[in-house]
Structure 1
Amino acid sequence: MKRGFLVAAGAAVTLLAGPRARAQGVGEACAASYEQAQQLVRDRALLRARAELRLCASSCPATLARDCRSWSERVERDMPSVALSATSAEGHAPGRVRVLLDGAPLVEAIPNAAIEVDPGRHTLTFEDMAGTRVVAVVTVSPGDKALPIAVRFPAAGPPSAAAPVRQRWPLAIAGAGAVALGVGAFLGIKGHLDRSELRGRCAPTCRADEVEAIDLTWKAGAISAGAGLLAAGAGAMLYFQLDPAAPAATGAGLSFSPGGPWLSMIGSF
């Protein structure tokens, strides 16, 4: 009933406000605040309406100022407020909690006093120092005073240490494979250089032990490279299986031929 009377009175005054203000020869600030305040009341934007009514009361002639003071009293009666509170999952004070009203900052810390808000449906977002958020959707009616709005933050989950460990050991396998692959490449190249040097020095009458040493170097390189390639491939495969979101990577492979070692690149994108 009270709200209906206020809206009806505002609508009636709006029709008369312009002519009445012009008839009294008031300034633009007075006329604007006199009319804007009534529109804001009809829109239930009471916080802004109060500011306009204060301007009207201080800048308008006595007759109009009396109207604004009367409307201001009604706005104060209808102005709702909310009493905010928050607790941790264990029921303790969660420390400093900032609150957003409909996405805009409201307070940086919950105060002890109630906070005035416009009537209507609002979304209140509570955020603690750890960044955890709790959202409350409430409807505040005109005349509600210190409407209690209490939230409880959820319990913090245990730290997810398994995921990093799970991701590290496949990388360790792939890293060891890369090292073995590098050793294989080095031995293969060394064997190739030693064979070239031996050919130039004593072929075809080189000693058997010198030829055998080069052959052993190549075999060791091939074994190391093969093991490294398998380890690098296995590590990469395990990593991508454990983390499907990880991007595909390029791999390296080493192959041997009678003409010497060859390094090739394989991968998917």
Structure 2
Amino acid sequence: MNRGLLVACSAAFTLLTGSRARAQGVGEMCAASYEQAQQLVRDRALQRARAELRLCVSSCPAALAHDCQSWSEMVERDMPSVALSATSADGGAPGRVRVLLDGALLVDALPMGPVEVDPGRHTLTFEDAAGTRVVAVVTLAPGDKALPITVRFPAAAPRAPAGSAAPVRQRWPLVLAGAGVVALGVGAFLGIKGHIDRGELRSRCAPDCPADEVEAIDLAWKIGAISAGLGLVAAGTGALLYFQLDPAAPAAPAAGVALSPGVALSPGGAALSLRGSF
């Protein structure tokens, strides 16, 4: 008999302790949601406040739950919403469009009905399937309902065919001018070398220098003159075509530009001087 009484008392104590623990847990949850909901309402974070108020209504005693229910009705009344829509450049449907709210995904596709958004200033980014974006900045006041937000996507820029070359005016005139500059350099080098070789030959054997050595220097001068002449024509033609084909390019400089000894470009034409005597 005493043993049965002891078991009964132990069971009653366990139930009482568990009830108090559960009551204490419910009380802490109620207090946290009750306070947090009020702060969120003050901060106009209405969507988060709504979740806390629902928790408050379900976990608090009747008096506190009544307060939370009243605040919940106020939140529902003040919660703004937007009606999102978009059109393509020609006024048609742009296809699938997703919308970001302040950088975070709001909807993955334009909804049929309004979408709730907290009050305040927001950046709405509409993005179509091609990745084109249109940004709208809106300020929502408490109580704004189904505020229409409509954007129009711009016309897609024409794409160049795959593998197409750059505009001719930007490429081949420059290639021609570059080749001309190289040829001018070769001609100038041969001219300078011939001048040096001639001086050495004159100091060594003039006026009875070997004919083959004189002919070698003369041949180098001729090749240099031809190279420089062709280079001058190519460089001048390339530069002229580039500036004529590109109206936005600046005018060629008026002053002559010295390229190397004996070679010069000027507005009045071109000249090449490679001469000497033995």
Pairwise TM-score range, normalised by the shorter structure: 0.5 to 0.7
Deviates more, 1:28-37 or 1:55-64: 55-64
Query: Where does residue 226 of structure 1 map in the other structure?
Result: 232
Alignment check: 8 A CA contact 1:167 1:239 kept: no
Deviates more, 1:76-85 or 1:204-213: 204-213
**Aligned partner of 2:226: which letter?**
A
Cα distance 1:30–1:90, how it changes in 2: closer, same or farther (>3 A)? same
Query: Where does residue 169 of structure 2 map in the other structure?
Result: 169
5+ long unaligned stretches in structure 1: 1-23, 245-250, 260-269
**Aligned partner of 1:147: which letter?**
L
**Aligned partner of 2:223: which letter?**
T
Cα distance 1:141–1:170, how it changes in 2: closer, same or farther (>3 A)? closer
Alignment check: 8 A CA contact 1:166 1:242 kept: no
Query: Where does residue 99 of structure 1 map in the other structure?
Result: 99
Query: Where does residue 60 of structure 1 map in the other structure?
Result: 60
CA-CA distance at 1:34 after TM superposition: 0.7
Query: Where does residue 109 of structure 2 map in the other structure?
Result: 109
Map Cα deviations across residues 100-120 of structure 1 (whole Å, 9 max, x no partner). Answer: 334544223222332111234
CA distance in 2 between partners of 1:105 and 1:235 (Å)? 52
Aligned residues: 228
CA-CA distance at 1:37 after TM superposition: 1.0
Taking structure 1 as the reference length, what is the TM-score of the superposition?
Answer: 0.62
Alignment check: 8 A CA contact 1:183 1:221 kept: yes
Deviates more, 1:182-191 or 1:101-110: 182-191
Q: Name the SS for the 1:99 alignment partner.
A: strand
CA-CA distance at 1:218 after TM superposition: 1.9
Deviates more, 1:110-119 or 1:83-92: 110-119
**Aligned partner of 1:106: which letter?**
L
Alignment check: 8 A CA contact 1:80 1:140 kept: yes
Note if 1:206 corresponds to 2:214: no
Q: Spell out the pairing of 1:171-186 with structure 2 (5 A cutoff).
A: 171-186=171-186
5+ long unaligned stretches in structure 2: 1-23, 251-256, 263-272
**Aligned partner of 1:174: which letter?**
L
CA distance in 1 between partners of 2:171 and 2:239 (Å)? 10
Map Cα deviations across residues 143-173 of structure 1 (whole Å, 9 max, x no partner). Answer: 4443333222233455699xx9886524422
CA RMSD, Structure 1 to Structure 2 (Å):
4.4
Cα distance 1:170–1:152, how it changes in 2: closer, same or farther (>3 A)? closer
Q: Name the SS for the 1:112 alignment partner.
A: coil
Cα distance 1:69–1:239, how it changes in 2: closer, same or farther (>3 A)? farther
Alignment check: 8 A CA contact 1:125 1:136 kept: yes
CA-CA distance at 1:44 after TM superposition: 2.8
**Higher Rg of the two aligned structures:** 2
CA distance in 1 between partners of 2:249 and 2:125 (Å)? 33
% identity of equivalent residues: 53
Q: Spell out the pairing of 1:145-164 with structure 2 (5 A cutoff).
A: 145-156=145-156
Q: Spell out the pairing of 1:1-269 with structure 2 (5 A cutoff).
A: 27-156=27-156, 168-186=168-186, 189=189, 192=193, 204-206=209-211, 210=216, 212-230=218-236, 242=248, 253-255=259-261
Cα distance 1:173–1:255, how it changes in 2: closer, same or farther (>3 A)? farther
CA-CA distance at 1:33 after TM superposition: 2.0
Alignment check: 8 A CA contact 1:188 1:217 kept: no
